[in-house]
Amino acid sequence: MRKIDSFFIMLLSLLLVGCSGSDSSVNPEPEPPTTGENTNANDPVEGKSFVTDYSMPHLNPENYYVEHTVTYDGKKILNYAYEWVKDKKHTAWVAFSFDETTSQKNVSRSDDAWATDLELPGGWCPEESNHKSDGFDKGHLCASEDRVYSKDANAQTFYYSNMSPQMSSFNGGFWASFEILVQKWARSGAYDKVYVVKGGTVDQLLVNFTGARNGNDGVLPQTDANGFTKKGLACPKYYFMAILSEKGEEYHAIGFWMEHRDDYGYEYDNFAPADVMKTYALSIDDLEKNTGLDFFCNLPDNVENAVESSWKETDWTW
């Protein structure tokens, strides 16, 4: 028995030595990617608290980044943020979110709140003179009705930096239809948060345009060969929205892309129906191709890739 035991002990030792050796011809199984991996997230910016919020697109260092915040119930809240394109006198985008606090409707519109945005360097922000008698509306990007949870929050939406020169029927009719739809989603109670990015294409402008109808100021809207209004503001050829919903750990996303026109046939009291708006929906991946922006970059990569590749009509309450 002892001789047999010695034999098996020797054999076992040889097997263990063989197993512990390394073989460079065999590669170990790669580890699966970490759930929280994010290769395109925004880097922190000194003095800015919300650059890593899920609402933010990837920042462009050539633009000027601004955060507007308010204090509500003793807590600092991001009201909205944007990137400013100095030579266009226009934002590249505005971003914000609806949650349990910011979706509330506590105040009415602050119609007398037009003001210069003091967060921009001196001389950068447009003024009333840049909008007066140009044939275009001062079109909110972060809408007044998006921010009615506090008086201060609503007043910030009236900064001239948040305005875009929009044809009157587009601003009050077609564009407003999508704003109302997004507000409906955000206030439905179906989601924990709804993240929103809106904007006009400052790299695709409406050039040599003459409107078919006067604006609300009685003036025919026009742009020059460079796509600027007669008062020197860039006038986008297209407008867009990127929407991300969050419910627990479930996310859905959808984009909207539309041409800046005055012949959609919708006005202040006649908004576009859901079936029409659906035809302007697209995936976030496709919206990124159209705009050159990287939306929702602060999401983990696996989540971002999944929600941006397509959109489903049934994910949203039309």
252 given a catalytic annotation: no
- Quick one: average pLDDT of 304-309? 98
In the predicted structure, residue 300 carries a pLDDT above the cut 60? yes
The span from the CA of 248 to the CA of 253, in Å, is: 15
Per-residue confidence (pLDDT) for residue 16, from 0 to 100: 41
In the predicted structure, residue 246 carries a pLDDT above the cut 70? yes
The span from the CA of 66 to the CA of 93, in Å, is: 11
Write out the DSSP string of 257-292: EEE--S-S--BTTBPPPHHHHHTTEE-HHHHHHHH-
pTM of the entire predicted model: 0.88
Per-residue confidence (pLDDT) for residue 269, from 0 to 100: 84
Q: Which domain holds residue 95?
A: 61-315
Nearest to 299 by CA among 289, 312, 309: 309
Band (pLDDT 50/70/90 cuts) for residue 11 is very low
Task: Kindly report the CATH number assigned to the domain that includes residue 68.
Answer: 3.40.570.10
Domain assignment of residue 28, yes or no: no
In the predicted structure, residue 298 carries a pLDDT above the cut 50? yes
At 115, phi and psi to the nearest 5?
-160, 160
Per-residue confidence (pLDDT) for residue 111, from 0 to 100: 77
The span from the CA of 65 to the CA of 63, in Å, is: 6
Mean of pLDDT over the chain:
91
Digit-coded pLDDT (tens) for 68-108: 999 999 999 999 999 999 999 999 999 999 999 999 999 99
Band (pLDDT 50/70/90 cuts) for residue 8 is very low
Write out the DSSP string of 233-261: -B-BSEEEEEEEEEETTEEEEEEEEEE--
* Token pair listed for 138: 């001062």
Band (pLDDT 50/70/90 cuts) for residue 35 is low
Band (pLDDT 50/70/90 cuts) for residue 33 is very low
The answer to whether the annotation marks 27 as part of a ligand binding site is no
Band (pLDDT 50/70/90 cuts) for residue 190 is very high
**What percent of the chain lies above the pLDDT cut of 70?**
89
Per-residue confidence (pLDDT) for residue 30, from 0 to 100: 38
Beta-bridge mates of residue 215 = none
Digit-coded pLDDT (tens) for 254-279: 999 999 999 999 988 899 999 999 99
The span from the CA of 136 to the CA of 175, in Å, is: 14
In the predicted structure, residue 9 carries a pLDDT above the cut 70? no
In the predicted structure, residue 17 carries a pLDDT above the cut 80? no
Q: Which of 90, 140, 252, 260 is catalytic?
A: 140
- Quick one: average pLDDT of 225-236? 98
- Of 30-39, 138-147, 154-163, the least confident: 30-39
Report the number of distinct structural domains present in the chain: 1
In the predicted structure, residue 6 carries a pLDDT above the cut 50? no
- Quick one: average pLDDT of 182-203? 98
- Quick one: average pLDDT of 237-258? 98
8 Å CB contact between 126 and 119: no
